[in-house]
Amino acid sequence: MYKFKKPQSPTVLDHSGHCLYTDGSFLRSPNDKNTTFGAWAFIHLKDDEVLMQNAQPVFNTTSQRMELEAIVQGLSYLKNKYLLSDTSELNKSSVIKIYSDSMYCKHCVNSCLSWKRQGWKKWDESDVKNVDLLKRLLEVMYDANDKPLFKVKHIWVLSHTGIKYNEQCDELARGIAERMRSGKIQNPVVQI
């Protein structure tokens, strides 16, 4: 049987060009185990300068959905700001580096097009989860003919190890999820 070996987190991080740090947070209600509070966050850097930070709360969600939503939101932002705008700063040869502590997201980014072509089934014929988010991920990464709009390089980083922007993303997402759980945020997005 094949044993999966977790990759090593990179020690030198390349922030040249466009980079996204993404993270999701997920908390359960202390009073009702079926009620969950989540949030996603992304930080956009270009050449090591922070250009944008964004985060949003989501009610009744999962950890994996929040991790994936952060990537979808970050890539949507970049697509709208740099690909569809007059600047046309992004193109097919552009590389966007995504730094995330989610191996699930790395797998989704690398596999979503093949899953689509296989009818949203994995190699073992089991159903792919979170298809709605994966379809949105495809929409921001590919054109209508499944040709890439830009290149995406997903770089997995180990969480809670002092990586500056990963820690900041975690703080953004967790802070919003905690404020929502404490009742300080009243009208989050609802996902069921």
Sign of the dihedral through C-alpha 118, 123, 125, 127: negative
User: How confident is the model over 181-191, as a mean pLDDT?
Assistant: 74
CB 190 within 8 A of CB 65: no
Quick one: pLDDT band at residue 12, thresholds 50, 70, 90? confident
CB 55 within 8 A of CB 39: yes
* Domain layout of the chain by residue ranges: 18-190
User: At the top level of CATH, which class does the domain 18-190 belong to?
Assistant: alpha beta
pLDDT score of 192 more than 50: no
Quick one: pLDDT band at residue 46, thresholds 50, 70, 90? very high
Model confidence pLDDT, tens digit, residues 121-148: 988 999 999 999 999 999 999 999 999 9
pLDDT score of 42 more than 90: yes
